[in-house]
Amino acid sequence: MSWKAVIGIEIHVQLRTQTKMFCACAIPAEGDEPNTKTCPTCLGLPGALPTPNRAAIEKVLAVGSAIGAKAPATTRWDRKNYFYPDLPKGYQISQLDLPLAEHGKIEVTTSTGTRTVGIRRAHLEEDTARLRHEKARDGARSSLVDYNRSGVALLEIVTEPDIRDGETARRYAEELRLLLRTIGAADAEMENGQMRVEANVSIRASEDAPFGTRVEVKNMNSFRAVERAIAFEITRQAEVLDAGGTLTQESRGWDEGSGTTYTMRAKEDSHDYRYFPEPDLPPLAIDPAWLAAIVATLPELPHARRARYVAELALSEYDAAVLVGEPAAAGLFEAARAALPSLDAKILANWVSGEYLRVARDRVVTIDAAQFAALVAAVAAKEISGTTGKALFEEMAAGPLDIRQVITSRGLSQISDGAALEALAAETLAAHPQALADWRAGKQQAIGFLVGQSMKASKGRGDAAQLGEILRRLLEAAG
């Protein structure tokens, strides 16, 4: 039978702050020695008192505003009581019924259209420590606790059960990450655990039937894993029910290697965490002027920026999505346009999404936007060839470069003089008789080869398009 899936997503994100949520400890970095970023507060020692991190609260309020959520007039901290070795206090400071943001939404574009995902709530809490399970050479097992992560500011965002398939879930997680990065709230790198996605998946016979048995899927370490794990889980549940079986409410982990989910633990209906208001922290009033000041500093949001690029700059939806999808790329695009407003937006967009993103994918690069604009302008005006432009961009990515000065001092101007190109093409043709033979044998790619050789001979300065035309004419004449 054809089942309808119902999916809700819960995401935990480490906020980008200088210090932890309730103490002045620095945020641990990759490679830190275990238990070096701790103090009595985040170690949960008796008598230590929490002090809220103002920047973390401001970031959550900014996120709330960016997703169109409401902030309460007054919020409160609650104790969520449970014991686990990664939680030294025996409770986590969280927010129960007065979260910092409620009733927001995020729109995502999927292969079958636009979907709106409702966001039930977003609240602030503290992260737990990290457990490391080790096995010694003699086979003895031990569990080690690293308290560096204990107390790091954590944002939890919970959607409504609005999602119906794995693709939408993936797109939602990607769009949320982009939003968080754009407003500077988080880096949200899934690979190193800064962003953790969990999905609640159930199926039912029809859209108006009651919800089925809910299974929580965890351990998805990439966006692709989110999509695959949910798709797998929907199929698995359908197979169980089609075979006359029943589903168990449980937590299942995603195994990337086998592409399947596996039982982690059966889950009771709801844990009794014995929440109560945190006695060490007073309720927090959200002053409307404070909130307004935070909202005023929000940058242009991804969906608005994409729409503007399409409407005002006539970029395609695809180009707009690629540019806006990487905040650094959009930043370079904006800065280059500001430096040289006359520059064609489409050509500039191609350079950012082509050359810049290609280089930025592998390493951190700092590009001077004004020099970048000058480079793209020189290529667009056919002053230098595209080949020369790309070579100069590589240099620019490695260090500062004065484009105008380099073009003049190195004599890089493009050869677009007809007679010079004609001579260049003729020489190349004479030097490669095999290419002429190939052409005669019907091999069209001989032209590409000859253009490449001519460009090489001109040290990248030739006008490749013109050379192509001249070579085709020469070949046809010889042919």
Q: At what angle do helices 317-324 and 302-313 cross, to 10 degrees?
A: 140
Q: Pick the closer one to Zn ion by CB: 19 or 94.
A: 19
Q: How far is the CB of 61 from Zn ion (least distance, A)?
A: 23
Q: In which element (H, E) is residue 457 found?
A: helix 445-457
Does position 345 bind Zn ion by CB under 5 A? no
* Among residues 21, 23, 294, 380, the one that binds Zn ion under rule CB under 5 A: 23
Q: Pick the closer one to Zn ion by CB: 92 or 159.
A: 92
Q: Which stretch binds Zn ion (CB under 5 A): 32-40, 82-90, 120-128, 418-426?
A: 32-40
Q: Which stretch binds Zn ion (CB under 5 A): 33-41, 114-122, 275-283, 309-317?
A: 33-41
Amino acid (one-letter) located at 299? P
Task: Provide the pairing of β-strand 195-204 with 153-159.
Answer: unpaired
Q: How far is the CB of 281 from Zn ion (least distance, A)?
A: 15
Q: Pick the closer one to Zn ion by CB: 44 or 253.
A: 44
Chain-centroid distance, C-alpha 168: 15
Q: How far is the CB of 26 from Zn ion (least distance, A)?
A: 9
**Distance from C-alpha of 348 to C-alpha of 328, rounded to nearest angstrom:** 14
Residue pair 132/146 in contact (Cβ under 8 Å)? The answer is: yes
Q: How far is the CB of 62 from Zn ion (least distance, A)?
A: 24
DSSP conformation class of 32: P
Q: How far is the CB of 56 from Zn ion (least distance, A)?
A: 14
What tokens does 320 get? 């707009």
Q: Pick the closer one to Zn ion by CB: 36 or 249.
A: 36
DSSP conformation class of 41: T
Instruction: State the binding string over 396-435 for Zn ion (x if CB under 5 A, else -).
Output: ----------------------------------------
Q: How far is the CB of 41 from Zn ion (least distance, A)?
A: 5
Q: Pick the closer one to Zn ion by CB: 27 or 169.
A: 27
Q: Pick the closer one to Zn ion by CB: 11 or 25.
A: 25
Q: Pick the closer one to Zn ion by CB: 153 or 234.
A: 153
* Among residues 6, 7, 15, 25, the one that binds Zn ion under rule CB under 5 A: 25
Radius of gyration of the chain (CA): 29
Q: Pick the closer one to Zn ion by CB: 149 or 228.
A: 149
Phi, psi of 309 (to 5 degrees): -60, -35
Q: How far is the CB of 29 from Zn ion (least distance, A)?
A: 15
Q: Pick the closer one to Zn ion by CB: 39 or 420.
A: 39
**Distance from C-alpha of 476 to C-alpha of 450, rounded to nearest angstrom:** 14
Q: Pick the closer one to Zn ion by CB: 25 or 179.
A: 25
Q: Which stretch binds Zn ion (CB under 5 A): 41-49, 261-269, 283-291, 455-463?
A: 41-49
Count of residues interacting with Zn ion (CB under 5 A):
5
Q: How far is the CB of 132 from Zn ion (least distance, A)?
A: 20
- Give the contacts of 366 (CB within 8 A, at least 6 positions apart): none
Q: State whether the Cα torsion 375-420-473-428 is positive or negative.
A: negative
Residue pair 151/21 in contact (Cβ under 8 Å)? The answer is: yes
Amino acid (one-letter) located at 94? S
Q: How far is the CB of 52 from Zn ion (least distance, A)?
A: 13
Amino acid (one-letter) located at 304? A
Q: Which stretch binds Zn ion (CB under 5 A): 6-14, 36-44, 175-183, 364-372?
A: 36-44
In 363-444, alpha helices (H): 369-380, 386-398, 403-409, 418-431, 433-440
Contacts for 455-461: CB closer than 8 Å, 24+ residues apart:
455/385, 455/387, 457/424, 457/427, 457/428, 458/415, 458/424, 460/385, 460/387, 460/388, 460/391, 461/384, 461/385, 461/388, 461/412, 461/413, 461/414, 461/415
* Among residues 5, 7, 42, 475, the one that binds Zn ion under rule CB under 5 A: 42
Q: Pick the closer one to Zn ion by CB: 35 or 413.
A: 35
* Among residues 39, 286, 310, 426, the one that binds Zn ion under rule CB under 5 A: 39
Per CB under 5 A, residues contacting Zn ion are 23, 25, 39, 41-42
